[in-house]
Amino acid sequence: MALKRRDARLLVEPPPDATGRFAESVADALAGRRLSYACALHELERQRLGLAEAAACLTQALANGRTVLVAGNGGSAAEAQHFAAELVGRFKRERAPYPVLALTADSAIVTAIGNDYGFHEIFSRQVRGFGHPGDVLVLFSTSGESRNLLQAAEAAHRQQMPVVALAGAPACSLLRLADHGVCVPDADTALAQEIHLLLTHILCDIVERELAAREGGCS
């Protein structure tokens, strides 16, 4: 027998006293984020030179017709694909697409390499296959210790490719391997991923604006 509308509503509506509790939880979360973001942005101000160097590296490579490869695990894999989408598609300006490839996106390649060679080689083997001297490898990581990303960075150096790392730990192995790096220190995983989204948008905006100016387009 089908549920009556009133009975069905009871299955999805919270009890009357729950809304107040959720409102308090939301208020606490927003207050905590406000403080966390303030601290993170203050630290990023101190690292603006590293971010500027990363933007210059990406801009020069794309201006020279080179390709940018991007990788990460989990939420950082999603960020890698977001980064690629903004530059292959568009961020704010109408312009030609830029050659940016997320190494996380082809499930057949990732699972084939993982099955045949091991998960630690899913990115490094692609770097060896797709990367050429002058290309750039961008790596997103909250821990900065993922073996597959470290091996990808090493493979990129063998291919004469600079490495840009956006990490979530200040003394991590990935930053030591990177040519240009920015980190979100003392942050939990969720906050690091949120700040990486901010960094993605900053980099995409700068790269797009600079390339448009070089091409004589609208800035």
Q: Over the stretch 13-31, which tens digit does the pLDDT of each residue have?
A: 666 667 788 899 999 999 9
Residue 219 has pLDDT above 60, yes or no: no
Count of structural domains within the chain? 1
Residue 218 has pLDDT above 70, yes or no: no
Q: Over the stretch 127-172, which tens digit does the pLDDT of each residue have?
A: 999 999 999 999 999 999 999 999 999 999 999 999 999 998 888 9
pLDDT of residue 21: 82
Laid out side by side, the sheet with 180-183 consists of: 100-102, 68-71, 136-141, 163-167, 180-183
- Mean pLDDT (the chain) is 91
Higher-pLDDT residue of 69, 213: 69
pLDDT of residue 19: 78
Q: Within a domain: residue 21?
A: no
Q: Within a domain: residue 12?
A: no
Torsion of CA 187, 191, 193, 195, to 10 degrees: -90
pLDDT of residue 5: 58
69 Cβ contact partners less than 8 Å away, ≥ 6 residues apart: 100, 101, 103, 126, 127, 130, 131, 135, 136, 137, 138, 156, 161
Q: Are 162 and 138 in contact (CB under 8 A)?
A: no
pLDDT of residue 180: 97
Map residue 140 onto helix, strand or coil.
strand
Runs of H (alpha helix) within 89-145: 107-116, 124-130
pTM of the model: 0.88
pLDDT of residue 15: 66
Residue 112 has pLDDT above 90, yes or no: yes
Span of 25-34, 83-92, 123-132, 203-212 with lowest mean pLDDT? 25-34
User: Residues, the chain, total?
Assistant: 219
Map residue 180 onto helix, strand or coil.
strand
Residue 6 has pLDDT above 70, yes or no: no
Q: Within a domain: residue 6?
A: no
pLDDT of residue 7: 59
What string of DSSP letters covers 72-104? -STHHHHHHHHHHHHHHS-SSS--PPP-EEETT
Read off the amino acid at residue 79: E
Q: What pLDDT band is residue 10 in, cutting at 50, 70 and 90? A: low
Distance CA 25, CA 12 (A): 20
Q: Within a domain: residue 116?
A: yes
Q: Within a domain: residue 15?
A: no
Q: Within a domain: residue 13?
A: no
Q: Within a domain: residue 208?
A: yes
Q: Within a domain: residue 32?
A: no
Domain of 175: which CATH number?
A: 3.40.50.10490
Distance CA 211, CA 218 (A): 10
Phi and psi, residue 131, nearest 5° = -80, 145
Q: Are 140 and 147 in contact (CB under 8 A)?
A: no
> Residue 111's domain spans which residues?
47-214
